[in-house]
Amino acid sequence: MRVSLTTLTFDPAGVVALQLVPEQTLGESRRRMNRVATLDGGAVFNDFGYSEADRTLTLRWRVTSKATEAAVQRLVQLYAKLHVATPQGCYLVGVETYTPGVLQSSLVLLVASKLT
């Protein structure tokens, strides 16, 4: 699976394309739900529905070049929010964590909204 990261504003070096590892999934989808214990030993669920903003995208890719790793690190250091394009759609995301590795690197992105 191929994804691309881009900046929100014009930046000639603000585009990075990543080829994710084959076993990659883009994370889970969850509902805005919590459980509250009741006095009779049961439980009540508060369900506030589904939102794309509850998603966390975790991208993992094999390290192929130092230039790609440097480009990802540059985006993480300079921009708090990015656009990410995946086969599932385009998202506005906040960068939480970038973990560079020798063989494999990862990036954790918090979805703010789905653009398409």
Query: What is the residue extent of each domain of the chain?
Result: 2-28+38-114
- Other Cβ atoms less than 10 A from the Cβ of 6: the count is 17
Q: Distance (Å, rounded) from C-alpha 72 to C-alpha 58?
A: 14
Per-residue pLDDT, 7: 97
In residues, how long is the chain?
116
**Average pLDDT estimate for 84-97:** 94
What is the CATH architecture of 2-28+38-114? Beta Barrel (2.40)
Tens-place pLDDT, residues 17-35:
999 998 877 877 788 899 9
Residue 109 has pLDDT above 80, yes or no: yes
Global pTM?
0.83
pLDDT score of 98 more than 90: yes
